[in-house]
Amino acid sequence: MTVEGFRHLEAELQRLKGEERPRIIAAISEARAHGDLSENAEYHAAKEAQGQNEARVADMEDKLSRAEVIDTATLSGTTVKFGATVTLVDEDTDEKVKYKIVGDSEANVKDGKISISSPIARALIGKSKGETAEVTTPKGARSYEVVKVEWK
């Protein structure tokens, strides 16, 4: 996991504990005040939200405790590996794309971050500038040329 991904998870965990947990507790308290709990939909909804929140908290605490944090700014090299920001050209469409290879829990294609275990990242690992990577996608095989490998 990158330092940025670790910080993002920590911030989300603090939000769940500091904002969501108290909000849900207040909702449960308010719903209890309405009386009979067996037919109280608000109470059951709040209890379900509490269960989901606590499950997310436990999952994030587990990820954070097992995380191996790597500062990608200290990495270097000419080949693609974890933490690299790679500029590619689709050899069929000449479309340029830029991806940062990150851990599974911090991947977000919209932000240009792909998981180290994704098919495209696995195809790129070990490649250098000028080399081609063949990637099998749901739409068929794609071929990408590595244009640039950066470390940010």
**pLDDT tens track for 61-87:** 998 888 888 887 777 778 888 888 899
**pTM, 2 dp:** 0.69
Could you tell me if 150 and 73 are in contact, meaning their C-beta atoms sit under 8 angstroms apart?
Answer: no
Judged against a pLDDT cut of 90, whether residue 57 lies above it is answered with yes
Residue span(s) of the chain under CATH 1.10.287.180 come to 3-66
Give the C-alpha separation, 25 to 15, whole Å: 15
Judged against a pLDDT cut of 90, whether residue 92 lies above it is answered with no
Q: Was domain 72-151 assigned CATH 3.40.50.10090?
A: no
Higher pLDDT, 68 or 21: 21
Judged against a pLDDT cut of 90, whether residue 50 lies above it is answered with yes
Q: With the C-alpha atoms ordered 114, 120, 121, 127, is the resulting torsion angle positive or negative?
A: negative
CATH of domain 3-66: 1.10.287.180
Phi, psi of 133 (to 5 degrees): -120, 130
Query: In this prediction, what percent of the chain has a pLDDT beyond 70?
Result: 100
Residue span(s) of the chain under CATH 3.10.50.30 come to 72-151
Could you tell me if 3 and 67 are in contact, meaning their C-beta atoms sit under 8 angstroms apart?
Answer: no
Helix (H) or strand (E) holding 121: helix 119-124
